[in-house]
Structure 1
């Protein structure tokens, strides 16, 4: 029994020795700037003043985050953590309001279809990026915690990725698993499953584990479904 306990303690210690590399800052910065640019160049009838306020707030929150972690996510303060979550929430909330207004225009306007269809694409792409940012922020307490906190002390995961359960597969697959290589998801992983969730209207290879994760994925897929249905209906009406 004592020998078994020693082996178990050794395994736990090995799992807590983190080898994951800190995530690079710039994929997130580029995604935020793309989302803000898409929001800025929406048609003038969609929140003409409010959108510039949102873009200004987004840039103000982004600048100190770059200063704190200019290249890789290695430092986290209470301010940086709050600013990351606030930035994601601002973009998500603003885009949901824009989505509602766009739906109203799609339902009631019978002309000007080209501009509305382009705006629909802008809102949809922004929605994918915005939810990816939010998933990236909340899962396992954020990007810094995912690579620095011992796994036994890490906050419970909101999402389960394929790599989290690949340790018992064939060698060439198992080597990249979370257990054997200390793999952790990066922003690109969250962006991919946000895109697949928006296109498939359901979870694909990444599964939500918590109530908040399920609620957010449900909101994203519902918004994507409504947008797609109304855009198709509007396009058919224009052709007719």
Structure 2
């Protein structure tokens, strides 16, 4: 016959009793819970499998993302060709083409070709761990520059867009007041959203659907901060404030 010490029996019984007491609010109507003291209003957070809820699988539109990446680089090229020292520093170019998912244009003065390539190289970034750039820059027919997004650059753009989308969804879902939503990336271009206790998926879709358009914009590192603080920025650039609470004081970026 098993013989447990009295202190162990009392301890186990106390733990069981406390567990039962703390679980009671989870089974009471909300109107009753509101009348209880604040310390007694804590509910056991049930997962999606027990409480039910909403499950959404969101997939990125990669074609639209690539088009946005191409459009933004087109704007960057136009800005880079204008130069930094005024009209005398401009590089004359022909019409820009974005056919075939790449950017191509002709440099009118062949002596400025190397300078044009150098300016464009400064606008590209490293992608991944291999040191590959996000865009390749080539020359065709002596005067035509062709810029093509690399596979690593596209993958980096998708990863950045998905991380940003996940953060935005997380902030919006948490605004519902629900507890412990699950928001994770699945694969390269999908996000899984699970919200226990939210029985209407349409409500979740409507909340997530109110998204601002995600654009890839480059920080204008050549803008004068004092001029920007006064509301004056170079042509083609704009002042974009940080989200509220993101930084102390007045914080903004100048984007182009």
Q: Please classify the TM superposition score into its range, dividing by the shorter chain length.
A: 0.3 to 0.5
Of the two, which has the highest radius of gyration? 2
Normalized per residue, the structure richer in helix is: 1
* TM-score between both structures, scaled by the size of structure 1: 0.33
* TM-score between both structures, scaled by the size of structure 2: 0.32
The structure, 1 or 2, with the larger RCO (C-alpha pairs under 8 Å, 6+ apart) is: 1
